[in-house]
């Protein structure tokens, strides 16, 4: 098979290297969409290529070749070095499908559990205040979703910061950020090279909510200070209850990783992010190359199978 067939297996490396710069330099909403769509496209393309490689190996089996009218000798002439690639493709395909299905099932279960828990929360108001003395604030997906804020978090912030906190959480709820995070995680499960994209999406949805709160209040510095104070309050809190796995909050999913909150604060203290045209062009070219290489892989396999019928 042509070398271009293997391109979708290599492009995730470039995407992983570019995930960080894209998440920092693009407007967060666009970055979230671009990274999520890129991750899904690359995961589907790489999985399809693995499937094509496995199929190319399957027709080498004499029983399968006889059933489909292929000639094992013709197959060997067309692609004499294909056995190792076909075997590796079959193994990686099985691992990718298993990992993606398992994670998709876990995420679906977490979202369903969160929706049930949201429906069981007291009252009908979208915002639920708990008696938890620990500092917590998060959004639970559901129909409808709910925003959960603890007394501990409210006590740590002043009234103006309460408005910023709720604006941030409403952005998570209204824009279905948990769906972006879930899809990026499933893509990364199918292709582990895409894990940096999933990490970047978890960051950009928080930046998206930060920017929404900044536009809502008109004060970027106040939003930055609120994020910082909420992080300090949560870090000092030792009595906070568990956060649902599907929840998103002002500090991200559960506890933020090292350096995430300082990066968000620094971004809020800087001018609003722009969208450099060069990055957009490169990203579009990467997606186009992925789609074209996947189509090339399918065309190459079709030609390979047609030639394999030659006795």
Cβ atoms of residues 30 and 17 within 8 Å: no
For residue range 243-278, what is the model confidence (pLDDT) as tens digits?
A: 777 778 776 655 556 678 999 999 999 998 887 787
Residues 6+ apart with CB under 8 A from 101: none
Q: SS3 for 297?
A: helix
For residue range 94-124, what is the model confidence (pLDDT) as tens digits?
A: 999 999 999 999 988 888 888 888 888 887 7
Grade residue 201 by pLDDT with cuts at 50, 70 and 90.
very high
Q: Rounded to whole angstroms, how far apart are CA atoms 188 and 182?
A: 10
Query: Is the per-residue pLDDT at 78 higher than 60?
Result: no
Q: Rounded to whole angstroms, how far apart are CA atoms 221 and 23?
A: 20
Tell me the percentage of the chain whose pLDDT exceeds 70: 80
Tell me the percentage of the chain whose pLDDT exceeds 90: 37
pLDDT at 35: 92
Q: Which is higher by pLDDT, 45 or 206? A: 206
Q: Quote the mean pLDDT of the chain.
A: 82
What distance separates the 2 farthest-apart alpha carbons in the chain? 81
Query: Is the per-residue pLDDT at 81 higher than 60?
Result: no
Token pair of 127 as six digits: 């915002």
Dump the DSSP string for 42-98: HHHHHHHHHHHHHHHHHTTSHHHHHHHT--HHHHHHH-TTHHHHHHHHHHHHHHHHH
pLDDT at 197: 94
If one counts every other C-beta atom within 10 angstroms of the C-beta of residue 163, the result is 16
pLDDT at 229: 93
Q: Residue 100: which H helix or E strand, with range?
A: helix 82-120
pLDDT at 120: 81
pLDDT at 287: 74
Q: Rounded to whole angstroms, how far apart are CA atoms 70 and 307?
A: 9
Cβ atoms of residues 118 and 140 within 8 Å: yes
For residue range 230-246, what is the model confidence (pLDDT) as tens digits?
A: 988 888 876 556 677 77
The DSSP 8-state label assigned to residue 258 in this structure reads T
Cβ atoms of residues 64 and 40 within 8 Å: no
Q: What is the mean pLDDT of residues 13-28?
A: 88
pLDDT at 278: 73
Q: What is the mean pLDDT of residues 69-77?
A: 58
| CA 190 vs CA 38, 44, 109, 135, 173: distances in Å | 13, 8, 18, 35, 27
Tracing tokens 């949560």 back to the chain, one arrives at: 234
Q: Residue 204: which H helix or E strand, with range?
A: helix 195-217
Q: Rounded to whole angstroms, how far apart are CA atoms 191 and 13?
A: 10
Q: Rounded to whole angstroms, how far apart are CA atoms 50 and 96?
A: 9
Q: What is the mean pLDDT of residues 36-54?
A: 85
Q: Rounded to whole angstroms, how far apart are CA atoms 211 and 165?
A: 12
CB-count exposure of residue 45 (10 Å: 0-12, 13-18, 19+): buried
């Amino acid at each position: 098979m042509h070398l271009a067939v293997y391109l979708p297996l290599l492009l995730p490396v470039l995407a992983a290297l570019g995930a960080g710069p894209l998440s920092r330099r693009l407007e967060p909403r666009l970055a979230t969409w671009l990274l999520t769509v890129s991750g899904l496209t690359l995961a589907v393309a790489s999985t399809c290529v693995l499937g094509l490689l496995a199929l190319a190996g399957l027709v080498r089996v004499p029983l399968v070749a006889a059933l489909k009218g292929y000639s094992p000798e013709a197959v060997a002439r067309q692609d004499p070095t294909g056995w190792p690639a076909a075997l590796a493709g079959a193994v990686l395909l099985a691992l990718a499908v298993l990992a993606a299905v398992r994670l998709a099932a876990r995420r679906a279960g977490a979202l369903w559990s969160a929706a049930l828990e949201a429906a069981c929360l007291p009252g009908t108001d979208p915002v639920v205040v708990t008696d938890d003395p620990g500092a917590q604030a998060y959004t639970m997906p559901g129909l409808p979703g709910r925003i959960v804020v603890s007394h501990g978090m409210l006590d740590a912030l002043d009234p103006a910061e309460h408005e910023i906190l709720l604006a941030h959480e409403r952005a998570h709820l209204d824009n279905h950020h948990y769906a972006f995070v879930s899809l990026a995680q499933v893509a990364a499960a199918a292709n582990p090279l895409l894990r940096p994209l999933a990490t970047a999406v978890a960051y950009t949805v928080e930046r998206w909510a930060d920017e929404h709160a900044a536009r809502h209040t008109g004060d970027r510095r106040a939003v930055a200070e609120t994020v910082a104070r909420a992080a300090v309050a949560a870090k000092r809190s030792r009595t906070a209850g568990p956060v649902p796995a599907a929840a998103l909050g002002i500090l991200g999913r559960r506890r933020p990783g090292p350096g995430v909150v300082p990066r968000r604060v620094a971004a809020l203290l800087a001018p609003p992010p722009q969208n450099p045209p060069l990055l957009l062009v490169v990203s579009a070219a990467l997606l186009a190359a992925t789609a074209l290489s996947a189509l090339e892989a399918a065309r190459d396999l079709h030609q390979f199978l047609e030639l394999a019928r030659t006795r």
